[in-house]
Amino acid sequence: MSRRFVARSATVAGALALALTGVAAASASGAASPADPLATSGGGEVEQHVPPRVPTSIGYGGAVSSLDPVVSEIGLKVLRQGGNATDAAVAMAAAIGVTDPYSAGIGGGGFFVHYDASTGEVETIDGRETAPAAVGPDAFLDPATGEPYPFYPDLVTGGVSVGVPGTPATWDRALERWGTTTLGQALRPATAVAEKGFVVDQLFHDQTVANQARFEAITSTTDLFLPDGEAPAVGSVFRNPDLAATYRALAAGGVEAFYEGELAQEIAGAVQAPPVAPGTTLPVPAGSMTPEDLAAYEVVDRDPTVFSYRGYDVYGMAPPASGGTAVGETLNIMEQFDLAPLDDVAVRHHFFEASALAFADRAAYLGDGDFVDVPVDALLDDTFAKERACLLDPQAAAPKPVAAGDARSYDGVCDGTAAPGTVPEDTESTSTTNLTAVDRWGNVVEYTLTIEQIGGSGIVVPGRGFLLNNELTDFSIVYDADDPNRIEAGKRPRSSMAPTIVLQDGSPVLALGSPGGSNIISTVTQMLLNRIDLGMTIQETIAAPRAAPQNGTRTPAERAYVDAYGTGLAAYGHTLVPTANAIGAATAIEIGPDGLLTAVAEPVRLGGGSARVVRPAGR
């Protein structure tokens, strides 16, 4: 039961507590210490330590992977100084809120998946944002016109799109269940980074520039991210003392300092009356969140989804996440076919067709299971997969979109060809971030977290240093009483996040996840397909080009994917459309014989990530 369920455990790892205390002391005094993750080499900003981007590390004793080298270095130090995978994951997530504030932070939410080596159990925490109590079916309608707000930049910028954040409660609950340290201690490395600053890279600069018009509409956001009216320059040092102070407030007062009291009042105030800049042309619609909404928020301990695929047990996130069921259904459909004799193009044709069937069912059935009846067991049933696989023609693509199957009544018998369907509007952002951690004891964490849009709602809580999410835009924009993802008070919007842990014979062998909106499902599925069916190494798996098949007539794909498979897939009837943007940005750790860990991060996408091991092989 999350932060309002039970009292916090008093267990603390002494070595870790001392190490993190050293980081905090360095931050407070301004002096560098050996434990400081951003110790400078000579005091000048340009000489500030920048950890390396390491796409692959192999070794023992624990490992971490994230999309940011500062974040991974913090996770690595936590593991080296006695912390476990949960301690490392929370410390890393807090650091992401500093160095990648446009993707995640305490103003958002996410899904935390954990393998417990002592019990052999996979368990999850649902820290998804919730709709405020006063939300109604007309929440996304412009009162002046009665029509939905234009999605970008109108609807995504402002208070109306902000859900009640779940990230701080997720960290608190994860540490309570599996950690060996306190929330305050886990926040200390990130607090040091926020105070001392980090070196701005090209991605941070470019994302600031891309959001400049939105950020200029909010005074508090302009003050933080557009000093002197411009995006921070590449190579400069970006500091966020307001966020450091907010982290210290959480360290001192616990998670209640976020959900109750002064900060809760300020969050609700920023949602109800965004600090709009004079003269802005954006509408910046206000929301209805109250301090009572924040006080009532709870994370949920959910049973994971699980399915078997070619001898592996694959665990994921249950609704309101659609990743666990959609990845599972896609692979269950593919398992009905012997892919071994097929060439690469034929395998990918099967993947495209299975994805279309799974996405049709996702649209028909997936929503918050606390509000709508989601047939999770049916969607992951091999008999249902067999019935859906009957509609997959190995020689030709079915006309798109295809219709959903009947997950309420099925028998595995073929019932003709795929019927035509419809494709709902996809408003899920391609932002978000992901991290992976494994410790020396064999515990595993896969954690996907987000504030939705790159830059979230665009609203920085004044004086607090963090952006609020725009997660409510993951609900269907136009209200339909029959839509499982319709907006309702207290409900959690459907998500595509798919943090995944794979077991074989009861032991973990792989953990992986990715950001990317609805493309997360495609990314995670392709990685499992590449590793299990196509025999790629985990390094090759993460670097391989990707497509994002769903249930449309055209499939976005990275240029390298189009070059490799476009002509062959066209012969099956598929139309690939090159996309300038990367599809997904994954992290993964593979657990091999004798505890050998292969940690991998993106070598190129989003500038590349960083994967680190505690004790590199050969040393």
The catalytic residue positions are 432
Per DSSP, the three-state class of 56 is: strand
HSE value, Cβ hemisphere, 13 Å, CA-based, for 179: 27
Q: Compute the distance between CA of residue 185 and CA of residue 83 in angstroms, rounded to an integer.
A: 11
> Cα separations (Å) of 133 from 2, 163, 440?
20, 10, 43
**245, 465 Cβ separation under 8 angstroms:** yes
The partner residues of 103 in beta bridges, in order of sequence, read none
Tokens matching residue 579? 């996309």
Q: How many helices (H) and strands (E) does the chain have?
A: 20, 17
Question: Measuring CA to CA, which residue among 471, 412, 489, 404 is closest to residue 167?
Answer: 471
Which amino acid is residue 174, in one-letter code?
A
Q: What element of type H or E holds 521?
A: helix 519-528
Cα–Cα distance between 364 and 482 in angstroms, integer? 9
Tokens 């209640």 -> residue = 256
Distance of CA 506 to the CA centre of its chain: 26
Cα-only R_g, the chain: 23
Q: Nearest Cα to 461, choosing from 616, 321, 267, 256?
A: 267
Q: Are the C-beta atoms of 603 and 543 separated by less than 8 Å?
A: yes
Cα–Cα distance for residue pair 396/547, rounded to 1 Å = 18
Round to whole Å and give the CA distance between 573 and 364. 25
Alpha carbon distance 395, 571 (integer Å) = 9
d(CA 388, CA 329): 9
How many Cβ atoms sit within 10 Å of the Cβ of residue 14? 10
Burial of 44 (0-12, 13-18, 19+ CB in 10 A): exposed
